[in-house]
Amino acid sequence: MRNMLLLAQFEVKKMLFNPRGVIALAAFSLVWLLILLYPIRGASEFLISPDYEALIEGLFGPEVVSELFKWSVAELAIYWIAALYLFPLFSIFIAADQFSSDKARGTFRFLTLRTSRESIFFGRFIGHMTIQTMLVSLTVLATIVLGVSREATLLMPAIGSGALVIVNLVIVLLPYTALMAILSLYANSARQATIYAILIWAAMSITIAIINNYLPIISELKWILPGSQISLMINTQGLGSFAYAPVALLQTLVLLILGRIYIKRSAI
């Protein structure tokens, strides 16, 4: 356990103090600054207008967007939709190099002489989840500042909603990070791991769609794909958004078990 936590701590320090990590953080911050200043701030102005509420309900149906108008802070409602789709993409790129660089440099064998393979696998996973939790928290904090700058009385509702959003997004990112850990073990570079991830998601999505078309009786097969619950989470808010958390947690558990088996049996 101690080695696992030390490895997780090292991953966080590498991201925060390594020049490449600092550049990646700066790029991430600039991208989210633009998203906050333009799409989120602009869309939130429409969301608080009763006229546009009627228009959006007329276009998409009240049952599709009913929860969207119940958010006490409109900026967080728009952020919720954007983050559900953008953070999984960020997660694939951020977590793509959990093991591949060590394999290419030959340092993986050096690490296994000093600690167990399980400690390395779970330490790296915890480290990358910690980094992503920090990034999610920073963007939620920036969204809260944006909402409070519009109306100061929104501070307390924004803090409550923001905390729930952080926990929910971290749960959503768990299976993505676990899958990238396995792909990073198999690939020889982060780029190769990312390509494998894209191919797997595309192939599985097409296969599941075909199966659902011809054999709808096994349509529940869609839940094996990480992120399959995201489209259903858009029209949720508050504690109700945790209704789909068991899907992501179960996917993560299965992937971590597979990853543990793979790292113990693989030649490194």
**174 C-beta neighbours (distance < 10 Å), count:** 22
Q: What is the pLDDT, as a whole number, of residue 59? A: 57
Is the CB of residue 132 less than 8 Å from the CB of residue 170? yes
> What are the residue ranges spanned by the domains of the chain?
1-265
Q: What is the pLDDT, as a whole number, of residue 196? A: 92
**172 C-beta neighbours (distance < 10 Å), count:** 25
| 182 pLDDT higher than 90 | yes
- The average pLDDT across 222-227 equals 84
The pLDDT tens digits for 198-224 are 998 888 888 888 887 777 666 677 788
Query: 176 falls in which pLDDT band (50, 70, 90)?
Result: very high
Q: Which residue has the higher pLDDT, 218 or 150?
A: 150
What tokens appear for 120 in the block?
């390395």
| 80 pLDDT higher than 70 | yes
- Dihedral of CA 18/23/28/30: which sign? positive
Phi-psi bin for 233: left (phi > 0), alpha (psi -120 to 50), beta? Answer: alpha
What value, to the nearest 5°, has the Cα angle with vertex 238 and ends 143 and 221? 105
Q: Which residue has the higher pLDDT, 194 or 102?
A: 194
Beta strands in the chain (DSSP E): none
Q: What is the pLDDT, as a whole number, of residue 71? A: 84
pTM over 0.75: yes
Looking at every residue in the chain, the average pLDDT score rounds to 85
Q: What is the pLDDT, as a whole number, of residue 163? A: 95
- The average pLDDT across 100-119 equals 81
Query: 46 falls in which pLDDT band (50, 70, 90)?
Result: confident
- The average pLDDT across 58-64 equals 61
- The average pLDDT across 46-74 equals 69
| 26 pLDDT higher than 60 | yes
- The average pLDDT across 184-209 equals 88
**86 C-beta neighbours (distance < 10 Å), count:** 15
| 172 pLDDT higher than 90 | yes
Query: 228 falls in which pLDDT band (50, 70, 90)?
Result: confident
Contacts 24+ apart (CB under 8 A), 242-248: 242/164, 242/168, 242/171, 245/168, 245/171, 247/223, 248/171, 248/172, 248/174, 248/175
Q: What is the pLDDT, as a whole number, of residue 268? A: 66
The pLDDT tens digits for 27-41 are 888 888 888 888 887
Residue in the structure block whose two tokens are 């489209």: 231
Q: What is the pLDDT, as a whole number, of residue 131? A: 92
Q: What is the pLDDT, as a whole number, of residue 129? A: 94
Q: What is the pLDDT, as a whole number, of residue 54? A: 65
C-alpha span between 232 and 230 (Å, rounded): 5
